[in-house]
């Protein structure tokens, strides 16, 4: 049975069924949904069942689907990857990815408690009880927190064995966060090196940097939905590589000739390229140079090769290749190589493009996105959002609680907007959203819907109490130069603040045109 993932299901629906919703394609889609693998208790499972019900109901009546059913299924299919992401994020009952090893100082348990406040679930375990921990509990662990006192005890060996066990289960060694009361001396650091990749955390260090470590490891480990361009002229080899990658949730596009590679890279924007070394017209070393001529092609390139010639391999590496995998492909080693390349590339990409607290695009990147959209002749809208009285939240509840509100606002925007919209953090408590192919009126309504829901959210403070907060938003047409649009959105935001906050104001694109407060939906 094919191991299909939510993203593959969505691609199939968008690329195959929606353009031609005839019986044959509908049937293929129904089969794919039925054979998809998922945790039967997850919210994604409910969504899968609902899709099947809608499909079966309409297919019993006719050979094609009415527009209303297509719309309904499209909505469900679009939300699948998000449900899956949520499940892996550990929200709706996901397995904890952080394990606290208890008994080696209060610093570690304090850190674990603070992470809990950032909505990161932490499981706890004593080393003497490792034997009773189940595979289920340990296989999702990517970070282990332990107090530094473990370094001076004979239990250090038990901890090493636990870490080894976890890396075998999850095919990745976990990161170790060593919670220390004070700076370590060199001998202690030497002992800590035996634990693998260790991050030292002192009482004065910010908890949010550990939160980032956990969140990033989770994002890096997930291959689901990452895009791979496979360039291979041999149908048999291509089929083999394609199957392995698809089984691990990768979205793969295959081209069978080097001449098609450049166009495919532009259209498909892969996260990684896997390429046969020996191909007609150009071998791998030349192809690597050709692809790297384009400044956009920064993604890793892995070569598949049956040759053992280390000199040729070195040459290819000097031309911009990143790794070699020898044919015939060994399933495990191949996926490991892909994971490690992809995770390194994503880490670099994230540091360059993303805001560390919210993982949204940073200021420069969201502006770049807006500029690119205008340059491509796509009209849309720009929204600037600013949280109301945020300084008071910090002053009343403390900075860490303020941070949590920012993270929540970012998650809320991400969940409420389309995948094609781009979201950035452009200041302390200010966000920008670029909505392609959306008029300011529609963008205003969308932002107002999110505003209304956000205002109803309850945020927890550190004493178990709850509070709510609001945001104001300015919206403008993005059909002109970005600096002018930004001034317009800022002006809309200014009017929203002065009109009483907790509202969205659409600023007219033309000077002197009317600006409007969005009526409640
Ligand atoms: P207004 O409704 O007019 O927008 O008032 P405000 O209090 O939201 O605006 P103001 O600009 O006076 O305060 C913004 C505050 O945001 C001040 C700053 O300390 C805080 N801030 C900036 N970056 C961060 C951050 O990363 N985390 C936290 N917790 N606070 C931040
Ligand atoms: Mg503010």
* Those residues with Cβ within 8 angstroms of residue 462's Cβ, 6 or more apart along the chain or in another chain: 117, 397, 398, 400, 401
Percent of the chain at pLDDT exceeding 70: 88
Q: How far is the CA of 501 from the centre of ligand 1 (A)?
A: 15
What is the C-alpha end-to-end distance of the chain, expressed in Å? 45
pLDDT of 235 > 80? The answer is yes
pLDDT of 307 > 80? The answer is no
Q: Which ligand is nearest to the CA of 431?
A: 2
Lowest mean pLDDT among 243-247, 332-336, 469-473: 332-336
Q: What angle do CA 417, 94, 450 make, to 5 degrees?
A: 20
pLDDT for position 110: 92
Residue 379 in domain: yes
- Residue recorded with tokens 């092609």: 297
Distances (CA, A) of 289 to 234, 284, 298, 514: 22, 9, 12, 54
Give the ranges where 90-142 is alpha helix by DSSP (H): 106-117, 135-138
Cβ atoms of 440 and 516 within 8 Å: the answer is no
- The DSSP output letter for 393 is H
Q: How far is the CA of 429 from the centre of ligand 2 (A)?
A: 6
Distances (CA, A) of 329 to 100, 225, 262, 336, 415: 38, 22, 25, 12, 38
Mean pLDDT (the chain) is 84
What is the number of the ligand 1 atom nearest to the C-alpha of 388? 2
pLDDT of 5 > 80? The answer is no
Residue 254 in domain: yes
Residue 288 in domain: yes
Q: Are residues 316 and 346 in the same domain?
A: yes
Q: Are residues 374 and 514 in the same domain?
A: yes
Work out the number of other CB atoms within 10 angstroms of the CB of residue 84: 23
Q: Are residues 211 and 247 in the same domain?
A: no
**Greater pLDDT, 222 or 133:** 133
**Measured distance CA(249)–CA(227) in Å, rounded:** 9
Q: Which residues surround ligand 2, an ion (CB under 5 A)?
A: 386-387, 390, 429
pLDDT for position 87: 39
pLDDT for position 269: 85
Q: Are residues 421 and 441 in the same domain?
A: yes
Q: What is the arithmetic mean of pLDDT over 463-492?
A: 94
The dihedral sign for the CA sequence 139, 145, 147, 152: positive
Reported as a single tens digit per residue, the pLDDT across 274-303 is 999 888 888 887 888 899 888 778 899 998
HEC states along 24-71?
A: HHHHHHHHHHHCCCCCCCCHHHHHHHHHHHHHHHHHHHCCCCCHHHHH
Q: How far is the CA of 391 from the centre of ligand 2 (A)?
A: 7
**Greater pLDDT, 95 or 32:** 32
Closest CA to 405 of 392, 418, 416: 392
Residue 155 sits in a domain whose CATH number is: 3.40.50.2300
Cβ atoms of 485 and 440 within 8 Å: the answer is no
* Those residues with Cβ within 8 angstroms of residue 167's Cβ, 6 or more apart along the chain or in another chain: 173, 174
Domain end residue (candidates: 199, 221, 243) = 221
Q: Are residues 398 and 448 in the same domain?
A: yes
Q: What is the arithmetic mean of pLDDT over 109-113?
A: 92
pLDDT for position 84: 45
pLDDT tier at 518, thresholds 50, 70, 90: low
Q: Which two tokens stand for residue 329?
A: 């492909």
pLDDT tier at 511, thresholds 50, 70, 90: very low
Residue 34 in domain: yes
Domain end residue (candidates: 332, 352, 372) = 352
Ligand 1 pocket test target in 208, 405, 426, 429 with most atoms within 8 Å of CB: 429
In terms of residue numbers, what domain contains 400?
363-518
**Greater pLDDT, 11 or 87:** 11
pLDDT for position 328: 81
pLDDT for position 115: 87
Lowest mean pLDDT among 59-73, 277-291, 474-488: 59-73
Residue 132 in domain: yes
Q: Are residues 112 and 179 in the same domain?
A: yes
Q: Are residues 217 and 232 in the same domain?
A: no
Residue 57 in domain: yes
Distances (CA, A) of 515 to 107, 475, 512: 54, 10, 9
Reported as a single tens digit per residue, the pLDDT across 364-416 is 999 999 999 999 899 999 999 999 999 999 999 999 899 999 998 998 898 88
pLDDT of 4 > 80? The answer is no
**Measured distance CA(374)–CA(476) in Å, rounded:** 13
Q: Which two tokens stand for residue 108?
A: 């570690």
pLDDT of 420 > 80? The answer is yes
Lowest mean pLDDT among 22-31, 186-195, 432-441: 22-31
pLDDT tier at 85, thresholds 50, 70, 90: very low
Q: How far is the CA of 52 from the centre of ligand 2 (A)?
A: 45
Q: Determine the 3-state secondary structure of 311 from DSSP.
A: helix
Q: Are residues 388 and 489 in the same domain?
A: yes
Give the ranges where 194-296 is alpha helix by DSSP (H): 207-221, 235-247, 261-268, 284-292
pLDDT tier at 509, thresholds 50, 70, 90: very low
Cβ atoms of 265 and 297 within 8 Å: the answer is yes
Percent of the chain at pLDDT exceeding 90: 39
**Measured distance CA(451)–CA(454) in Å, rounded:** 5
Residue 507 sits in a domain whose CATH number is: 3.30.70.270
Count of domains for the chain: 4
Closest CA to 512 of 496, 488, 494, 486: 488
pLDDT for position 37: 57
pLDDT of 2 > 50? The answer is no
What is the number of the ligand 1 atom nearest to the C-alpha of 402? 29
Reported as a single tens digit per residue, the pLDDT across 173-187 is 899 999 999 899 999
Protein residue closest via CA to atom 13 of ligand 1: 391
What is the number of the ligand 1 atom nearest to the C-alpha of 357? 26
Ligand 1 binding pocket, CB closer than 6 Å: 357, 386-392, 394, 399, 402-403, 406, 428-429, 497, 501
Q: Are residues 496 and 384 in the same domain?
A: yes
Q: Are residues 396 and 439 in the same domain?
A: yes
Protein residue closest via CA to atom 11 of ligand 1: 391
Q: What is the arithmetic mean of pLDDT over 118-142?
A: 83
Q: 114-144: string of b/e by CB count within 10 Å (b at 16+)?
A: bbebbebbbbbbebeeeeebeeeebebbbbb
pLDDT of 39 > 90? The answer is no
pLDDT of 478 > 90? The answer is yes
Residue 91 in domain: no
Residue 92 in domain: no
pLDDT tier at 361, thresholds 50, 70, 90: very high
Q: What is the arithmetic mean of pLDDT over 197-204?
A: 93
Cβ atoms of 503 and 518 within 8 Å: the answer is yes
pLDDT for position 94: 52
Q: Are residues 43 and 171 in the same domain?
A: no
pLDDT for position 107: 93
> 177 forms bridges with which residues in the sheet?
145, 199
Q: Are residues 427 and 449 in the same domain?
A: yes
Backbone angles phi, psi at 123, to 5 degrees: -95, 150
Domain end residue (candidates: 187, 221, 255) = 221
Q: How far is the CA of 470 from the centre of ligand 2 (A)?
A: 9
Q: Which two tokens stand for residue 300?
A: 């890793």
pLDDT of 334 > 90? The answer is no
Give the sheet arrangement for strand 430-436, strand by strand: 422-425, 430-436, 380-387, 471-478, 504-507, 516-517
Q: How far is the CA of 395 from the centre of ligand 1 (A)?
A: 10
**Greater pLDDT, 347 or 6:** 347
**Measured distance CA(418)–CA(450) in Å, rounded:** 12
Q: What is the arithmetic mean of pLDDT over 110-130?
A: 86
pLDDT of 35 > 80? The answer is no
- The DSSP output letter for 230 is E
pLDDT for position 504: 97
């Amino acid at each position: 049975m094919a191991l299909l993932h939510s993203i593959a299901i969505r691609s199939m629906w968008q690329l195959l069924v929606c353009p031609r919703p005839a019986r044959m394609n509908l049937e293929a889609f129904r089969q794919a949904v039925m054979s998809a693998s998922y945790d039967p208790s997850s919210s994604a499972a409910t969504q899968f069942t609902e899709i099947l019900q809608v499909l079966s109901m309409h297919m019993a009546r006719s050979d094609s689907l009415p527009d209303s059913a297509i719309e309904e299924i499209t909505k469900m299919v679009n939300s699948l990857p998000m449900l899956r992401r949520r499940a892996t994020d550990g929200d709706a009952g996901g397995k904890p990815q952080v394990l606290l090893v208890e008994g080696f100082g209060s610093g570690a348990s304090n850190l674990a408690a603070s992470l809990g406040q950032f909505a990161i679930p932490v499981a706890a375990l004593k080393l003497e009880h490792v034997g009773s921990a189940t595979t289920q509990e340990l296989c999702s662990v990517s970070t282990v927190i332990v107090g530094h006192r473990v370094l001076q005890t004979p239990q250090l060996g038990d901890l090493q064995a636990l870490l080894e066990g976890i890396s075998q289960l999850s095919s990745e060694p976990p990161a170790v966060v060593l919670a220390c009361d004070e700076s370590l001396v060199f001998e202690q650091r030497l002992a800590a090196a035996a634990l693998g990749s260790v991050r030292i955390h002192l009482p004065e260090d910010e908890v949010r940097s550990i939160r980032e470590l956990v969140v990033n490891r989770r994002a890096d480990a997930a291959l689901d939905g990452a895009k791979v361009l496979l360039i291979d002229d041999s149908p048999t080899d291509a089929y083999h590589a394609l199957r392995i990658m698809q089984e691990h949730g990768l979205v793969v596009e295959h081209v069978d000739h080097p001449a098609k590679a450049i166009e495919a890279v532009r259209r498909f924007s892969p996260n990684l390229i896997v390429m046969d070394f020996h191909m007609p017209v150009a071998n791998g070393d030349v192809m690597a140079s050709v692809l790297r001529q384009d400044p956009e092609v920064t993604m890793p390139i892995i070569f598949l090769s049956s040759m053992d010639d280390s000199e040729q391999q070195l040459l290819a590496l000097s031309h911009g290749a990143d790794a070699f995998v020898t044919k015939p492909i060994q399933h495990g080693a191949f996926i490991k190589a892909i994971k490690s390349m992809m995770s390194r590339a994503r880490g670099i990409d994230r540091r360059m493009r993303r805001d560390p607290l919210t993982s949204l695009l940073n200021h420069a990147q969201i502006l770049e996105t807006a500029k690119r959209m205008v340059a491509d002749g796509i009209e849309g809208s720009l929204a600037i959002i600013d949280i109301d009285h945020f300084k008071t939240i910090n002053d009343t509840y403390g900075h860490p609680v303020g941070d949590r509100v920012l993270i929540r606002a970012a998650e809320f925007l991400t969940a409420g907007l389309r995948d094609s919209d781009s979201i950035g953090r452009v200041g302390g408590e200010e966000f920008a959203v670029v909505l392609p192919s959306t008029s300011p009126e529609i963008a205003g309504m969308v932002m107002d819907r999110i505003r209304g829901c956000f205002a109803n959210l309850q945020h927890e403070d550190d004493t178990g109490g709850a509070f709510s907060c609001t945001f104001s938003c300015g919206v403008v047409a993005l059909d002109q130069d970005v600096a002018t649009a930004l001034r317009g959105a800022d002006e809309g935001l200014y009017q929203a603040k002065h009109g009483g906050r907790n509202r969205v104001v659409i600023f007219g694109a033309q000077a002197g045109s009317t600006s409007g407060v969005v009526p409640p939906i």
